[in-house]
Structure 1
């Protein structure tokens, strides 16, 4: 059974990453305690952990707030991701295992089904699956340092909540790009995997800029 602080942490992280808690929103301890039926200690532990991941900002004498991201923050994160993730995709094409390839194909299938069926909160589920696909690609690169550096960037709220901004055509385009990426990894085509990931991230950032 998860500890109370882990339960609060998981709940808040999900709300932040899916955009249900807006940047700059005040996270009032008393309200969080009542909502999760816990004492202040688990709430404070959860907020400290979220702060260490740059998802929450703790201001002395004012409390905790959902981290705000400026245009410059977004540009910096996407610049770094655009350098690192295409390299990871190329390595994944060279180093992936059959199990990792199966996982990537499964994630593509789940995302396509989710987009077609559109259950309640389907965009939140797409965001979760998208994050998992990018992390699985990083894992397939078999480079622990690259994974640790880049995984942190993929957790930025403006990245994990990006599916909230997409229109229908943009959603389907993103899913097609995932298929193209996985096909390149399947055929161990490192240059193609690099190119697809680079274009995928560039188009994602362009979509964010227009919102």
Structure 2
């Protein structure tokens, strides 16, 4: 078969390439940040991370650059990399947007719900409550994210779902530190939300979701004001950065 014959045929499916190591390292480090195994303000030593993940320092360095670009890590020349510590303003703005998106999603889910969708929500709620009873914070947070994503899917609004997906990881990051304090109350709110969705009560579903997301927002902001940074940056950093800032 000649080249011209090949060129005239339909394009063959592309061969999947292995995921670059830096992206695998990026995902691993991001999960450690979101789950609070790497805490806000914590210094990220390349050698320690490389040993922990069983890779060389180069993909660690590349992954930290990617994480910095997405706001998960702060890079400070001369001092290294640190897990980003969200400000109260950052958290407030993102959680406020989350409340708006999810309140509308709950309202639409009540309008478009299906028996299968409600059954899935109830199963997730049961699993989440079991995780709380077992003091499995990571499990409860993961199931919580899945439940909220399911409500988004039931809304039937793909644009709304796409927007929510853009902030879902950071919402999970903010939720993790307060998940234990929210405890059983959070899942009782989920149960009430599911009941409103099953009844097709749009206003009630929206109101419950609004109050539910606001509870997490207020608790996180309250805790943020009480906590101190895990590892303060050296004071010299600010002195060194000042001339650069003036030059921008």
Indicate the TM-score class for this superposition, using the shorter chain for normalisation: 0.7 to 0.9
For 1:162, the equivalent position in structure 2 comes to 175
Give the one of 129, 137, 141 matched to 1:112: 129
- Indicate the RMSD between aligned Cα atoms, in angstroms: 2.5
Distance change in 2, residues 1:204/1:41 (3 Å): same
CA distance in 2, matches of 1:100, 1:50: 35
CA distance in 2, matches of 1:49, 1:143: 30
Question: In the TM superposition, what whole-angstrom CA distance separates every residue of 1:19-59 from its partner, at most 9, and x where no partner exists?
Answer: 22111222222221111111234324433443454322344
For 2:56, the equivalent position in structure 1 comes to 39
Question: In the TM superposition, what whole-angstrom CA distance separates every residue of 1:148-206 from its partner, at most 9, and x where no partner exists?
Answer: 2222223226x5343433566x3111110011111112222211110110000112222
Greater Rg over alpha carbons, structure: 2
Say whether residues 1:85 and 2:102 are aligned partners: yes
Contact 1:123 1:164 in 2 (8 A): no
Q: How do 1:128-167 residues align onto structure 2 when only pairs under 5 Å count?
A: 128-156=142-170, 159-165=172-178
Specify every segment of 5 or more residues in structure 1 that has no aligned partner in the other structure, as ranges: none
Contact 1:92 1:138 in 2 (8 A): yes
Contact 2:50 2:60 in 1 (8 A): yes
**How much has 1:111 moved relative to structure 2?**
0.9
| TM-score, normalised relative to structure 2 | 0.72
Higher mean C-alpha displacement, 90-99 vs 79-88: 90-99
CA distance in 1, matches of 2:76, 2:164: 27
Contact 1:88 1:141 in 2 (8 A): yes
Aligned length: 206
Say whether residues 1:181 and 2:181 are aligned partners: no
Distance change in 2, residues 1:187/1:47 (3 Å): farther
Distance change in 2, residues 1:46/1:137 (3 Å): farther
CA distance in 1, matches of 2:193, 2:98: 16
**How much has 1:90 moved relative to structure 2?**
0.9
